[in-house]
Amino acid sequence: MNDVELHEYFENMVRTLRAKGVLCAITSGLACVHYGIAESTQDCDLLCHTSSFPVLLDYLSETSIDGQPCQYRGNISPPLDARWHKGGWTSHFEWDLGAGKVRLDVFGSALREATPWADDLHGFYAGMQVVAWMKRTDRDKDWPFITSLGEQLLLRNDPRGWLHVYDEEALNGYLKRVPIPDELLEKRPALRLLQSGHPDLRFALKAEREFWQELDRLRIRILRRALRPFVVAMARRSHADSANLTEAHAERVAVADSKLDPNPLRTYGIDRYLKEARENTVQFIHPRIVEYLPDLAEHFQTLQS
Amino acid sequence: MRPPLTYKPLTKEHVDELREIERDYHVRAFGEELARVNLDMTKAERIRYLSAMRENARKHGVNLERPLPYNFTEEELNDEAS
């Protein structure tokens, strides 16, 4: 199966799953390609409501690509189970085609979402805003995609685009043509600098981005630490994963039960996590810029519950 | 958050202006070639372009594997097993 066929394959997967009543949508790289922003990936990131996991697991266990079955990605993938996904974990699957592997990552909740992702769908895809929140990673390469998604929202007359444009020149261009709603000025204080034509805008834009990236770095560090006992326990089993995905899943759940914290960020403390990321960010920026860092607590509220 | 109802529909002239800002950004962020891939190609053409790009990369030995999550490395995973 070539890349073109794979793209169609994943769209058909969503179509089939939805026909079975599964609430799901493609996000991240393939969604960017759909929205007109070329990202080189053949792997699929899928958002799926946790209540639909049993149906998704059945589907994956019955589905093959080029005759190869779907399997969990080695010892590193948490199980496809609501207990862990509600705590921010992702499940990783793959089809080993010999010449290469096709990968599918499943998210029960959209990272950094402030509102439910299922309220914002676009055909087979997660909405632009959802994709833009998920793209706020520690990887520099993801950031031009966020601005592009913000631009597309503004082009569709959706003011939420103002939350996602990080390019000073583009922001100044839009300012002359698109009003900024007051509620967004509260959510993103750096937009006040844009409105007033203040030269500190470019420093505030860098500070915002650094804050998001620091949050992601810290999140990865916390999850990595929490995942290690699970990875060790999985690796030290006396046998490999069953070729049957349903059986492999049951065993993975049993290991996770005793070895994987369902919600490491909550264990760490969401407030502590936000505070630390903010303090680390402040080390990089001038004190006069600190007031323009946004309050990002709403993006981690779902992990509190 | 829903868009405020006070936003007026965009005129064609307005859309053209926003598209110009968008194109300028794509050229700055991704370069001229990818700006054209993004803004001038259909989705099907874009997917074919990316597919050809990846195929060319594979032929030249570029590793296109998705990295392991949480910054784990294969070596670390092998160590855990021993």
Measured in angstroms, the CA of A15 and the nearest CA of chain B are apart by 18
Domains of chain B, by residue range, sit at: 20-60
Summarised one tens digit per residue, pLDDT across range A251-261 is: 999 999 999 99
With 90 as the cut, is the pLDDT of residue A133 above it?
yes
Q: Which residue has the higher pLDDT, A301 or A2?
A: A301
pLDDT for B5:
43
CB A82 within 8 A of CB A50: yes
Does the pLDDT value for residue A275 go beyond 60?
A: yes
Of residues B82 and A34, the one with the higher pLDDT is: A34
Distance from CA of B13 to the nearest CA of A (A): 11
pLDDT of residue B7: 67
Q: How far is B25 from chain A (nearest CA, A)?
A: 7
Q: Do A38 and B37 touch (CB under 8 A)?
A: yes
CA distance A23 to A45: 14
Closest CB to A231: pick one of B50, B55, B80.
B80
Collapsing DSSP to helix, strand or coil, A64 comes out as: strand
A72 against B63, higher pLDDT: A72
Percent of chain A's residues with pLDDT above 70: 100
b (16+ CB within 10 A) / e for A281-299: bbeebeeebeebbbebeeb
Q: What is the mean pLDDT of residues A99-112?
A: 93
Give residue A304's pLDDT band: very low, low, confident or very high (50, 70, 90): confident
For residue range B28-59, list pLDDT tens digits in order: 999 999 999 999 999 999 999 999 999 899 89
**B-chain residues near A188 (CB < 8 A):** none
pLDDT, tens digit (0-9, with 9 covering 90-100), for A14-33: 999 999 999 999 999 999 99
pLDDT of residue B82: 66
> Reading across the β-sheet that carries A24-27, which strands appear in turn?
A64-65, A68-72, A90-96, A101-107, A44-48, A24-27, A125-126, A121-122
- pTM for the model: 0.94
Rg (chain B; Cα; Å): 21
Q: Which domains does chain A have, with CATH numbers?
A: 3-107 (3.30.460)
Cβ–Cβ under 8 Å, residues A69 and A245: yes
Indicate which of B13, B25, B76 best probes the interface with A, i.e. most A CBs within 10 Å of its own CB.
Answer: B25
Determine the pLDDT at residue A241: 77
**How much is the pLDDT for A237?**
85
pLDDT tens-digit series, residues A223-260:
999 999 999 999 988 777 777 999 999 999 999 999 99
